[in-house]
Amino acid sequence: MSTSKPTENRLWGGRFTGATDPLMDLYNASLPYDKKMFDADLEGTRVYTRGLNKIKLINDEELAAIHNGLDEIKKEWIAGTFEEKAGDEDIHTANERRLGELIGKHIAGKVHTGRSRNDQVVTDMRIFVRQDLEQLLKHLGNFIVSLTKRAREEIDVLMPGYTHLQRAQPIRWAHWLSSYATYFTNDYKRLQQVLERVNECPLGAGALAGHPYGIDRDFLSEELGFSRPIGNSLTAVSDRDFVVETMFWASLFMNHISRFSEDLILYSTAEFGFVQLADAYSTGSSLMPQKKNPDSLELLRGKSGRVFGALSGFLMSTKSIPSTYNKDMQEDKEPLFDTLTTVQHSVLIATGVISTLKINAQRMKGALTMDMLATDLADYLVRKGVPFRETHHISGECVRMAEVSNLSGIDKLSLSQFKEIDSRFESDVMSVFDFEVSVERRTAIGGTAKSAVLDQLSKLESIVNK
């Protein structure tokens, strides 16, 4: 098999005299997907060389030349004119090779003093992931606000609440919106916690054993916007928990977005008819002209599996890695980057869906049936001093009598029929059969009464606004 020629710009090339298999070059390369970290890599080098300048390993003139070169490289990446060359196995190699072309290899060769790709790559990743998660946090906050805003505007709309996908009790549409806003606000708080752990600095740890020239790692950490240096150099270069945790977070979020989507898919069917998606988030059928398919929601539901798979795959890649850095860790970027992109897009799509869909308040109200007030009937007797276990049985007998009497609901039973079942029923029993009264009785924290829902919304908004 033919082999490629050795290239001078490999960061590890001095030990090797032979060429590598060209397929190995392709197999080893990560530039096609890690070049999106170009800015993080350049910023890491900018700060690292300032650290070298502080300990007199780079003089002021060299530092200025390096930084001018880094500025030029950044312009090329932004403009799309950066020329990738054979031997550029990753973004770090590519940037350092280009720096040598711009300012000379003698000066450019100093930027890697005391630094390894082991601490360089994970520094780049932490910077990149931090930036992505900060942006994602803003998008998620906007999504939560879109849910709470809609809930406030449509606070008076009633609908069935479901358990086992069976009509259970009447609730407010705003209560349903608040329930998912609660899930997503918990995701929001968890993401803040993930960001804290992502935001730790590995730079200056070297290959694994630490920095041989006593570089100021607190300085590097502060200048790069990290909260602190990672306290153990072995851990610093090999820790990918921040990748796993980010994908854990993403998986849980996508689980929530999938459930949210499933509800809306059901509610948009002709059988429910509660909501209608905007045309911007729907498609038609290639065969049936009457169809309006909720493709946006189905994609949100489907892409959850993609994110779950990325997490599972990467966990399998890392479960048996010995300390410290091993090349297996290169498998972190593709699943992580794909996960971040998928989640980012999912939040934006979900925000668009919930901001533009129309509701059919009449269909929601029309889906309420009097049998859903059976618990309220039991509560009626509880307020008269009857134990709930007894009232539950009595209410069930009322439902059965309405059925055997071919009545349309328990509200159609006469007072005499109620008294036949239990003498403690009085004429005021008919006040039970009011959906608005039912929801307004549930004023305890978390309930579906208007005051309770508004309180939920205020608390959720305060978390996001803070």
Residues labelled as active-site residues: 164, 285
Nearest to 199 by CA among 259, 250, 269, 126: 126
Are 418 and 113 in contact by the 8 Å Cβ rule? The answer is no
**Range 226-230 contact pairs with CB under 8 angstroms and sequence separation of 24 or more:** 226/126, 226/199, 226/200, 226/201, 227/196, 227/199, 227/200, 228/200, 228/201, 229/200, 229/201, 229/202, 229/203, 229/204, 230/200, 230/201, 230/202, 230/205
- Rounded CA-CA distance 370/410 in Å is 6
Q: Widest CA span of the chain, in angstroms?
A: 102
Nearest to 123 by CA among 195, 48, 196, 202: 202
Pairing of strands 200-201, 228-229: parallel
- Residue reference for tokens 């032979």: 18
**CA dist 167 → 18, 86, 358, 367 (Å):** 72, 64, 22, 9
- Rounded CA-CA distance 421/381 in Å is 12
